[in-house]
Amino acid sequence: MNLPIEISSLDRILVTGFEPFGSYENNPSLDFVEFLKNKGFATAIFPVSFSLIDREIQKLKWDSYKYIFMFGLSAERNELSLERVALNWIESSLKDNSGFLPPCQMIDESKPAAVINKIDLNSWLTEFDKLELPVKISHSAGAFLCNYLYYRVLELNKNCIFIHMPKENDLEKLEKLIRALCFSGKVF
């Protein structure tokens, strides 16, 4: 499934991850971004901090990317989860890396309660099957920083998806998946 791709095309694909957080000394989303860093993809690592994440979001020109794949850890899951919905909501029992426990609140009271990603995620399942990657479509990115980032980015570029990943992942297969999804011409 190796498709011929020019480096100039890859730099229009942004792949993001998060730093380690809480009791997790390792974050597979960070590992994946580091794995892709020297392969031509645009990459970004986000802090697990409500006080820092907006500043990092503002540093990127989101509309300059053709496709955006955002990854985050969901340690209790055993498969990749394609997140359909970003909630306009913050709620957590977990403090961020700055020690801040956010109050339950809307991200932006002037906006809708949720944003539904219109990408035909069902059409992606075949590509996951070809690579034997376990996957499901999930209907909520949660209410912590993964969801916060997803909600904010969907406002800036609709060609994005948030994918929660389990603790263990095949990074080479994930890279092949991103290439296949972007360059097959039928899924984004």
> Residue 28 maps to which CATH number?
3.40.630.20
The total of structural domains in the chain comes to 1
d(CA 171, CA 113): 34
One of 127, 146, 160, 182 is an active-site residue; which one? 146
Please confirm, yes or no, whether 164 is among the known catalytic residues.
yes
> What is the extent of the structural domain holding 22?
7-183
One of 83, 127, 160, 182 is an active-site residue; which one? 83
Domain presence at residue 171 = yes
Please confirm, yes or no, whether 83 is among the known catalytic residues.
yes
**pLDDT for position 8:** 53
pTM over 0.85: yes
pLDDT in tens, 3-28: 344 445 788 999 999 999 988 999 99
Tokens of 7: 């480096």
d(CA 38, CA 24): 25
One of 127, 160, 164, 182 is an active-site residue; which one? 164
Give me the mean pLDDT over the 141-156 stretch.
97
Residues 6+ apart with CB under 8 A from 64: 12
Residues 6+ apart with CB under 8 A from 68: 13, 14, 15, 16, 62, 153, 157, 159, 160, 161
Domain presence at residue 2 = no
d(CA 171, CA 182): 17
Give me the mean pLDDT over the 140-161 stretch.
97
Give me the mean pLDDT over the 68-73 stretch.
98
